[in-house]
Amino acid sequence: MAKTKTKFFCQSCGYESPKWLGKCPGCEAWNTFVEEVETVVKSKGLHTNFLNKKEKAVSIINIESSQEERIVTDNRELNRVLGGGIVPGSLILVGGDPGIGKSTLLLQTSHLLTQLDLKVLYISGEESVRQTKLRADRLQAVSPQLFVLCETNVEHIEAAIDEIEPDFIVIDSIQTVYHGAVASAPGSVSQVRECTGHFMRIAKMKGIATVLVGHVTKEGAIAGPRLLEHMVDCVLYFEGERHHSYRVLRAVKNRFGSTNEIGIFEMRESGLVEVNNPSELFLSERPLGVAGSTVVASMEGTRPVLVELQALVSSTNFPSPRRMATGFDHNRLSLIIAVLEKRMGMFLQNQDAYLNVAGGVKLDEPAVDLAVAVSIASSFREQPTQPFDVVFGEVGLTGEVRGVSRVDQRVREAEKLGFRRVILPQKSLKGWTPPAGIQIIGVNTVAEALSAALV
């Protein structure tokens, strides 16, 4: 017989408590504790088919080291984010806002895998098989190797996996799946944790690459306990603005590759299309000769991306001016403004400062600092920047410009898009040969950068 006892779980972080609490000690969220019935099973219980198989410890010297074989799809952006392709037996978690295109991306990926003569099982807990077929017809993702199942019971899903023996599985979504032995409702902490553990064992034991779709909270984090992200091998976030047609696929955890890569897609009527040159897309609507606009060369993993920064500085009558940033760290913006006030003599204490990364891209690299300083100074002085300049470099608290990495890739990307000058740190000029068709200006301080960039 199984014993049942009641516990309270935080639905945000999974913190466990024997009694109800108004504020979670783990994540400090309010009113997130929900009562759940925890079932304690003796002897025969969940996953007994996996637990009955015993593994022996092996010396690490006797283990053969081999490179992980990857499934390389025709989707180059997805391959880039995953580190070169899909690793068999890996468990991947994909999160994103509702309607951002998660199901579209995975259905298109499933179709591409069937073109490699692989079996794919697409399990939908939110849509019927007819709804999935309608979306597949619109995306032209119809193949006899693609199997669709509308099921939310883990045991029934496992039976279908044993029958079809697929090479790739999509669970859409993990919050709708439940296990009959767990008394709580689908989407609760216990159900999400138990079902994820079950799919993890299936993926590892049978070598099937499995993708779990996860809902996100209002803050943008994947709903459910943080334990969910610790259990999987790779966590991908599908980001994008509703008013823009492009989407960004970003890896925040990857056991088989880098977490600095991003994949960029454009949403069209026929589905998601890869963007091979994101810099050209982000700069397509850039105004020329306008104060406050600067182009920066940022690195997203191994790919250089040119993005436009827009700054607006306006006077205010309030005692504390506003500092707002979209796509850039708010604290970093305040630091750069303080450097401009202290080192450049700009009186910004009665000025509101707004910074926007055009296109909705998020930049967190220190090399963006110099372009932010140039944009703010350009808007404050009402002096436009040179329209064909690219600026990058890290700004220190004493007003110096520090060197950055991968300078040659940034400069070559600027040359490819027709820019004529690049303003960069003087210390980054060593160890590489600049192209002949572009002018390189090395600066040591922010003052030198402003004198060179502003008209």
Residue positions in the annotated binding site for ATP?
Answer: 96-103
The Cα–Cα gap between 409 and 385 comes to 23
Q: What one-character DSSP code corresponds to residue 235?
A: E
**Strand, helix or coil for residue 316:** coil
User: Which tokens go with 114?
Assistant: 């069937």
* 315 upstream amide cis, omega within 30 of 0: no
The Cα–Cα gap between 266 and 180 comes to 40
Residue 107 phi/psi, 5-degree rounding, is -70, -40
Within 10 Å of residue 192's Cβ, how many Cβ atoms?
29
DSSP output for 265-283: EEEETTEEEE-S-HHHHHT
The Cα–Cα gap between 159 and 144 comes to 20
Residue 355 phi/psi, 5-degree rounding, is -130, 135
8 Å CB contact between 386 and 320: no
DSSP output for 14-71: --EESS--SB-TTT--BS-EEEEEEEE--SS-TTHHHHTS------GGGSPP-PPP-B
The annotated binding site is made up of 96-103
> Bridge-partner residues for 294, per DSSP?
309
8 Å CB contact between 307 and 392: no
User: Which tokens go with 236?
Assistant: 């991908």
Q: What one-character DSSP code corresponds to residue 367?
A: G
Whole-angstrom distance between the N-terminal and C-terminal Cα of the chain?
81
Query: Which residues fall within 8 angstroms of residue 184, CB to CB, at 6 or more apart?
Result: 36, 37, 190, 191
* Dihedral angle sign, alpha carbons of residues 84, 88, 90, 94: positive
Q: What one-character DSSP code corresponds to residue 427?
A: G
The Cα–Cα gap between 295 and 306 comes to 7
> Bridge-partner residues for 249, per DSSP?
238, 263
The Cα–Cα gap between 4 and 9 comes to 15
